[in-house]
Amino acid sequence: MINPRKPNLNFDKIEPASLKHKAYVALQKAIIELDFEPGQLLKKSELCKTFGISRTPLTEAIALLVQDGLVEVVPQAGTYVARFSIDELKEGAFIREALEVAAIKELANSITDQNLVELRRNLRLQKAYIDDKDIQGFYNLDSQFHSIILDATGFKKLSRLSDTAWMNVNRVRRLLLPVPGRVDATFVEHQKIFTALEKKDVNLSERVLREHLGKLMTYVAPLEKDHPEYFLLK
């Protein structure tokens, strides 16, 4: 089981103006970071009290989370954090790979010195967080590394599209990174991606990125066996 902890709902620090969007952003972050477990009941009365809002903006925020596939509303039963679906995870991984492979092929031909500086700096920070055994910090830098690649293409919608497709995959990755050796292996894979981009080698960049992204589902299968309570029944 995920170690129980108090959900990190930093409502007052969220920028969006409307109460609906502030609640949405806070809950989305908490669900993705597994502060709420898959299958956990979301108690609306407690959330309203935590946020200091009425049920209307909370209900509207939950409707957005349902669209994200992060929450499930069961009539006459309650509102629950969505469990993982293997089919949805495969679809999210497929979409993410399609977008990011296209991006790296575009970038390998046109990468700038500044892009390389940003990626190199990110890798240095990744190593520091690994040395400090800060998995959460490494996780954030891992996501940032891929965002740098997507954003460097100059296509402004890529990161948003990728994040949307990757949302549930991001949740399951939180369970994968503590797997012994996975963080170190991920760092090495990132280094290979950087080296390929530094060489401006399109074919190598595509190959090492595919290998990196393709590792995900190989780790999910045993996870489903170890934590069946987090997955939808087949």
**Residue for token pair 């990757």:** 166
Taken in order of first residue, the domains within the chain and their CATH numbers are: 11-81 (1.10.10.10), 86-230 (1.20.120.530)
Whats the size of the chain, residue-wise? Answer: 234
pLDDT at 103: 97
Nearest Cα neighbor of 135 from 102, 92, 168, 184 is 184
Q: What angle do CA 119, 130, 178 make, to 5 degrees?
A: 115
Please give the pLDDT value at position 217. 86
User: Which strand (E) or helix (H) includes residue 41?
Assistant: strand 41-42
Closest CA to 108 of 193, 231, 4: 193
- Are 52 and 60 in contact, with CB atoms under 8 Å apart? no
Distance of alpha carbon 108 from alpha carbon 116, whole angstroms = 11
What is the phi-psi region of residue 75: left when phi exceeds 0, alpha when psi lies from -120 to 50, beta otherwise?
Answer: beta
- 174 pLDDT above the threshold of 90: no
Amino acid identity at 83: R
User: How confident is the model at residue 11, as a pLDDT?
Assistant: 58
The token duo for 28 is: 């989305």
pLDDT tens for 14-65 read: 455 588 999 999 999 999 989 999 999 999 999 999 999 999 999 999 999 9
